[in-house]
Amino acid sequence: MTVPMTGRAPAADDPFYARLIGCWRLLRWDSIGEDGSVEHPMGDPPEGLLAYTPDGTMVTNIGRAGRPPISAGDLLEGPADERNAAFGTFIAYAARVALEGETVVHEVVMSLYPNWVGSRQRRHATLRDGDRILVLTADPFPMRGRMSTQRLTWEKVG
């Protein structure tokens, strides 16, 4: 599926985007409810990688640490309850990247959660500690039955 780019497509020589290019390891995922309560959807600490490429592509995989294997030993088969548990503890998607100032827009082209395909996932980006730490904050959306703001903290590893 082709997602129309609606923001400014980044280039490797864009000063802001150039600071994002590389591989990032997830340190923390805070899901902040409207009442200020904080949950950790993939545990504390979660596991995850995020990559931004020079051509404006991003990919991410996020999961709960210690996920149990599916007993069938088959990539596409297994008991429904085990597959459901695996789906509920993992997020993966790929997108084209557009910039709106220092807001990064992931224009999703592929996702484990099919509802995101064709969507624009806005992430307000903050770089800290000499560009070693990246904090991405999403606009509020429903997760596990409550409206919440997602704040993910990443450390640059490559």
The two tokens of residue 140 are 């509020």
Q: What is the pLDDT of residue 7?
A: 56
Band of the pLDDT at 1, cuts 50, 70, 90?
very low
pTM beyond 0.75, yes or no? yes
Average pLDDT over residues 73-93: 93
For the chain, what percent of residues have pLDDT higher than 70? 93
Question: For the chain, give me the number of helices (H) and strands (E)?
Answer: 2, 10
| For residue 133, pLDDT beyond 90 | yes
* Confidence check: pLDDT of 105 > 80: yes
**131 pLDDT exceeds 60?**
yes
Distance between CA atoms of residues 24 and 11, nearest Å: 19
Six token digits for residue 100: 């709106």
How is 68-109 classified by DSSP, letter by letter? PPPTT--TT-S-HHHHHHHHTTEEEEEEEEEEETTEEEEEEE
- Predicted confidence at residue 54, as pLDDT, reads 92
Stretch 65-72: mean pLDDT, rounded?
Answer: 93
Q: What structural domains does the chain harbor?
A: 15-156 (2.40.128.280)
The answer, yes or no, to whether residue 9 has pLDDT greater than 90, is: no
Mean pLDDT, the chain, rounded, equals 92
pLDDT of residue 101: 86
pLDDT, residue 102, reads 86
pLDDT band at 8 (very low <50, low <70, confident <90, very high): low
| pLDDT score, position 14 | 85
